[in-house]
């Protein structure tokens, strides 16, 4: 899709990013969760104060996809200890990646994954891992298409509701060629 810009989020993006993050999360998960659990989670995770604090965390990277100066997607990477099944050194978590429903199928998610990989490589990471709800088969299929593989599971707390997530891992060198010409999706995979 043309006219889409991917950039690092800035501190003054906190309010707009919090609004977008809350909206896309609710659109994705509200129907499948009890209101009290999802409200407890989003009221903290997507408050402007929380997002503002996270934007200042040197171990976190927010990338924003914009079109006509409007946020249409974002991803959040962070340096945290990895769960079982993921290398304990050299792995960065892709904690969140969301795209506005109007832009599903336009390659925005793939653009964000590619930008996340570039950030991970820049920070000398060789792996990206993520947790994805087992009851979200569309997301699992998207991540598989991007080169992620299921390597385990972990619990995600949606408020007071423990939910089972797949842990998925992307081994960057298996999907991307990293060289002097920059980062290129490898021809070894047909995705």
What is d(CA 57, CA 1) in angstroms, rounded to the nearest whole number?
31
Which pLDDT belongs to residue 81? 93
What is d(CA 136, CA 52) in angstroms, rounded to the nearest whole number?
28
Question: Where do the domains of the chain lie?
Answer: 4-185
Which pLDDT belongs to residue 178? 73
Do residues 117 and 172 touch, judged by C-beta distance below 8 A? yes
Which among 130, 154, 163, 153 is positioned nearest to 34, based on CA atoms? 163
3-class secondary structure, 115: helix
What is d(CA 111, CA 97) in angstroms, rounded to the nearest whole number?
11
Give every residue of the chain whose pLDDT is below 70, as ranges: 1, 179-191
Whole-model pTM? 0.90
CATH T-level fold of 4-185: Aminopeptidase (3.40.630)
pLDDT tens by residue, 80-122: 999 999 998 999 999 999 999 999 999 999 999 999 999 999 9
Rounded to 5 degrees, φ, ψ at 9 are -70, 150
Which pLDDT belongs to residue 189? 47
């Amino acid at each position: 899709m043309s006219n889409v810009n991917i950039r690092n989020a800035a501190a003054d993006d906190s309010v707009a990013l919090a609004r977008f993050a809350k909206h896309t999360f609710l659109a994705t998960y509200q129907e499948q969760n009890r209101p009290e659990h999802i409200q407890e989670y989003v009221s903290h995770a997507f408050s402007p104060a929380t997002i503002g604090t996270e934007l200042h965390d040197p171990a976190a990277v927010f990338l924003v996809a914009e079109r006509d100066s409007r946020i249409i997607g974002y991803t959040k990477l962070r340096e945290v200890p990895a769960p079982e099944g993921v290398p304990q050194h050299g792995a960065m978590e892709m904690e969140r990646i969301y795209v506005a429903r109007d832009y599903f199928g336009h390659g925005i998610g793939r653009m964000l994954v590619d930008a996340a990989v570039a950030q991970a490589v820049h920070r000398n990471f060789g792996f990206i891992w993520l947790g994805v709800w087992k009851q979200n088969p569309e997301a699992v299929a998207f991540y598989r298409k991007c080169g992620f593989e299921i390597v385990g599971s972990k619990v995600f707390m949606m408020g007071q509701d423990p939910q089972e997530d797949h842990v998925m891992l992307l081994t960057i060198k298996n999907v991307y060629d990293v060289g002097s010409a920059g980062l290129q999706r490898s021809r070894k995979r047909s995705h």
